[in-house]
Amino acid sequence: MTFDGETLQPRYRLEVGIPGSSHALDIALRVGVPEESARMRADAAIRRALPHAW
């Protein structure tokens, strides 16, 4: 599913075989989540997903 990075809205167009970003951090910041909190949670999620990278 393609996504407009400026408006943070889905474009409802499927692109098969091309991975994309979820833009979760951008959306969290736009809806008012404090930046430090959002980044801490993003870092924690990355550590859980990639435990051997740290």
Give the model's pLDDT for residue 12.
92
Q: State whether residue 50 is helix, strand or coil.
A: coil
Q: What is the pTM of this model?
A: 0.61
What mean pLDDT is reported for the chain?
Answer: 87
Residue 54: pLDDT over 80: no
pLDDT in tens, 25-51: 888 999 999 999 999 999 998 899 898
- For residue 33, the model assigns a pLDDT of 96
Chain-centre distance for alpha carbon 27: 8
User: What is the mean predicted confidence (pLDDT) over 7-29?
Assistant: 86
Q: What is the DSSP string of 10-48?
A: E-----TT------HHHHHHHTT--HHHHHHHHHHHHHH
